[in-house]
Amino acid sequence: MTLAQLAQALTELAKLRSSKDRERRLGALISLIESPALVGALKSDQILTLVDDILMPLVTQADPETRARLSARLAAKDWVPVALVVGLSQDELSIAQPIIAASPLLTDDDLLEILSGTTLDHHIAVAMRAALGPAVISAILAQNEPLVLTALATNAAIDLSRPDLFGLVQASRPFASLRVPLARHPRLTAPMAQMMLAWVGTSLQSSLINRFHLPPKAQPIASDQSEMDQRLADKLMASGNLHPSAVLRALREDQRSLFMAALARLSDIDLGAVRRMVDAPTPDLLALACLAIGLDRATFSPLLTHVRRLWGDRPGGDGRHAVDRAFDNLSPTQAKAALKWALDAARV
């Protein structure tokens, strides 16, 4: 087929106006353009202009399902009008995702626009893309969104620079979802792994120690870790991001100092009081503190079991009676007042 014949075919295709034939026309147009007989035809300005003039209106008028099928078909093509690619990349996620993942026509500026003006799911799709420039990676790190950071850490196709990977390692301290993919990351270094030992759970600690042959002494000393966890708890509290779930997560990950720092900030008591509370002869004060920060009865029993495992069967006493006394009779506000009174009375 000559360029003149192709131009005539495209022109005839454009004359079809029935809305019922819209998807058929789109399919016919793409099949025509992708024909092996037309290799090189799209380098013609005349043909490119015709494609733009016909394809853009058809796509903008199509329903979402049609656009989604079209997006999947066009995602990896390099002849698609750039304006169409950019538009599809900012459409609904089911439409945008194939384009974001595979289009060779999206520039870093296009990806930055997606990061600044679309949904969290779009941002995750960008972080999973096989090719990202330094500016896009920096923008993802600056947003500090845990789900997007986790997608970036999981993306083995990205050749992260050492400073960018170090930024992810630092973010894995407050965001637990980053830890497993980073522990497995091929570019993780021994110093980064050593740093992560301070806040990952025992299973990941063992994995990192075995992978990098780290000696146990590589872990930060307790006083340093306690200071870092206090600063983290203060920062999260100031930003409104410290929640009771942080207390539970710290326990699950065997982070004793972070557990104490988070419990102290949420219950508005000093850290020394929490230290004595978990080493007390009975769990009464711990039950009051947990109720004061909004944890319920069902949560306290496994929490107490975990605390006792980390602190050598302390606090002692009958946990069931502590639950009955606190959770049956007091509201969280009353529990907080009772906790302060008990601490003052005992001069803890």
The two three-digit tokens of residue 185, written as one number: 């990351």
Q: Is 185 helix (H, G, I), strand (E, B) or coil?
A: coil
Residue 281 burial (CB count, 10 A): 9
Residue type, 76: A
Per-residue pLDDT of the chain (348 residues; tens, 9 = 90+): 444 555 555 556 555 555 556 566 666 666 656 665 555 555 555 555 655 666 666 677 677 887 888 888 889 888 778 888 999 999 999 999 999 999 999 999 999 999 998 999 999 999 999 989 999 999 999 999 999 999 999 998 898 999 999 999 989 988 888 999 999 999 999 989 988 888 887 778 888 999 998 875 434 434 556 777 888 888 888 888 889 998 998 888 878 888 999 999 999 988 888 888 888 888 889 999 999 999 988 898 889 888 888 787 888 877 677 677 778 888 899 988 888 888 877 654
Residue of 93, 69, 74 lying closest to 84 (CA atoms): 74
* Distance, CA of 4 to CA of 244 (rounded, Å): 70
